[in-house]
Structure 1
Amino acid sequence: MRHGRYPFVLGFLVAPVVLYTIFVFYPITQLVFVATTNWSGLSPDFDNVGLENFEKIWQDSTFWQAVQHHLMLLIALPLITIALALFFAFLLNMGGGTRGGVMQGVWGSKFYRVVFFLPQVLAVVIVGVIFSRVYGPDQSGIINRLLSFVGIERVLFMSDYGMWAILGVLVWQAVGFYVVLFSAGMSSIPADLYEAAVLDGASRITIFFRVTIPLLWETIRVAWVYLGILAFDAFALVMVLSIEQGGPDGATAVLPVLIYKQGIRESEYGYASALGVSLFLLTITFAILALRAGRREAVEH
């Protein structure tokens, strides 16, 4: 029976492995090869320049400026998004107190779940267009128009607070998905645990930190990794919202936009590929470190 099982399993693995090799592994190896050339992308001619492109990256101040922006997003985006999502999810599932010894969500929690999730179904470009009107520097901007009513001077969001403005949009769009994710995790926690905590006189804050968080830890860790990967992107938002696609003076520069500029606009595909390799290594390094750092003994229920 066992001898017949292995060919059966291998038969199902062949197609995924072949597809993964063609559409994932091969493009990555091709990217690494192009990163060692001076290919312009416009002709079949190129020279192998070794690590010259990576040396150029090391001396590129715009690259390091973009890395600093990614580090800021890497810290702030997961912290703010997960904190807000946990808070809202807890309110939607347990904020209504106890009824008959059972924890209940706030009134209208099902409707609020739909409202929170709505930004997630919008295309990123549409979100960027919406917030271009919100952050508008003159009276066309919603925030600046409201500020003018109370006599406050206009705020140049994308010039003075570029990456923080981008961060606000990323949080606004992402938090709804994690509210639903954490709500699903909370609903899977046995009600007996909450009932026992309530009978012991535990407050909702104590229940949140002593019961909910430990039992949701694996979900939170995965959410942290996903949000960290998102922090290495922000391409569409920067392209739509920023001044001169990453400006002014690199104030909103991120690596995907630099890759686009060098590859598509400057026809330096070798250098753009080297930037792509750097972005890939940064993302993989973060994912590995985040998974290892967040590892802890599982809490069973």
Structure 2
Amino acid sequence: MARGRWLFIVTFLVPPLLLYGVFVVSPYAQAFQISATDWGGLSPEYEFVGLDNFRRLLDDGYFWNALRHNAVLLALLPVVTIVLGLVLASMLNVGGRRDRVGVHGVRGAPVYRIVYFFPQVLSVAVIGVLWKEMYAPNTGVVNGTLRAVGLDGLAKPWLGDPRFAFWCVAVVLLWSNVGFYVVLFSAAMQSLPRDIYEAALLDGAGRVTTLVRVTVPLLWDTIQVAWVYLAILAIDGFAVVQIVSDGGPGYASDVVGLRLYKTAFNESQFGYASAIGVAMFFLTLSVAAAFLRVTRREKVEAG
């Protein structure tokens, strides 16, 4: 039996681990190595510069500008997305009026789920191009709608104005992700006993009270996972920003992921770009670990 077990492990576990090591762990390790060089990306020649690239980060205004934008996304995107996801999921599952069949969602909930989840079937490239066209000054849907309802004065070159470009990108990130978490929270809520919601209603709890006092505590582990994924997205944000605004105008919507990309491929400074990537790695790891530690709670075991 022991021999058969080891054969099974070797056959089905070792190959995936090898693939993971080659295609995931190895690039990470190489990034750490390259971050200590002045490699340009094309020539095989390079010199080790030690920690010079990291010292350069401390004085790089473009990097700190991009990091500031990521910090704003980190503070807002997870919170707004999770709150909207919980509210919409609550309406879809327990937001209807109580009747003879008990607690249920609003009428048409299955259709709403499809509508909310629709952005997830689109690729990031399609979403970026779609919203870029929607923000177009003369032909975009946003300005067209404002003009149609008589609000011509509010029509603006959204992606061409430094005051609004970053927030336009933030809206795209929110729109493209909230539907997934609506479905995620809905699936988690469907596993909860309906008796809990029945009891809350009998005690006179309203929708907001039920959401805050009942749903959120019971879904806390799911909310933790959602926050970590959204935090990672907020620290990255490369694809949407690159397609929608390309960090402009004048670096007004730049993020660290885009700064890394342009440093490597536009400026041919792969060593310095790798240092930015290593900084992102530790930043993401630190944020996730800190959040999980702060929000950790003791699990209550059933008696």
With the length of structure 1 as denominator, give the TM-score of the two structures: 0.93
Q: In structure 2, do the counterparts of structure 1 residues 300 and 141 end up closer, same or farther at CA, with 3 Å as the change threshold?
A: farther
1:1-301 to 2 correspondences below 5 Å:
7=6, 10-11=9-10, 12-100=12-100, 102-136=102-136, 138-148=137-147, 149-158=150-159, 159=161, 160-242=163-245, 245-298=246-299
> What is the aligned length?
297
Q: Could you tell me how far apart the structure 2 residues matched to 1:259 and 1:150 are?
A: 39
Q: Which residue identity lines up with residue 248 of structure 1 in the other structure?
A: P
Q: Percent identity?
A: 46
Q: Could you tell me how far apart the structure 2 residues matched to 1:229 and 1:27 are?
A: 19
8 Å Cα contact 1:186-1:212 kept in structure 2 = yes
Q: Could you tell me how far apart the structure 1 residues matched to 2:256 and 2:223 are?
A: 26
Q: Could you tell me how far apart the structure 2 residues matched to 1:151 and 1:107 are?
A: 36
Q: Which residue identity lines up with residue 36 of structure 1 in the other structure?
A: A
Q: Which residue identity lines up with residue 215 of structure 2 in the other structure?
A: T
User: How far apart are residue 101 of structure 1 and its match?
Assistant: 5.8
Stretch deviating more after TM superposition (12-21 or 205-214): 12-21
User: How far apart are residue 152 of structure 1 and its match?
Assistant: 1.2
Q: In structure 2, do the counterparts of structure 1 residues 195 and 300 end up closer, same or farther at CA, with 3 Å as the change threshold?
A: farther
User: How far apart are residue 9 of structure 1 and its match?
Assistant: 6.8
Q: Which residue identity lines up with residue 54 of structure 1 in the other structure?
A: F
Q: Which residue identity lines up with residue 70 of structure 2 in the other structure?
A: H
Stretch deviating more after TM superposition (220-229 or 8-17): 8-17
Stretch deviating more after TM superposition (140-149 or 115-124): 140-149
Q: Could you tell me how far apart the structure 1 residues matched to 2:7 and 2:102 are?
A: 48
Q: CA RMSD in A?
A: 1.8
Q: Could you tell me how far apart the structure 1 residues matched to 2:72 and 2:34 are?
A: 30
User: How far apart are residue 83 of structure 1 and its match?
Assistant: 0.6
Q: In structure 2, do the counterparts of structure 1 residues 150 and 162 end up closer, same or farther at CA, with 3 Å as the change threshold?
A: closer
Instruction: Name structure 2 gaps, 5 residues minimum.
Output: none
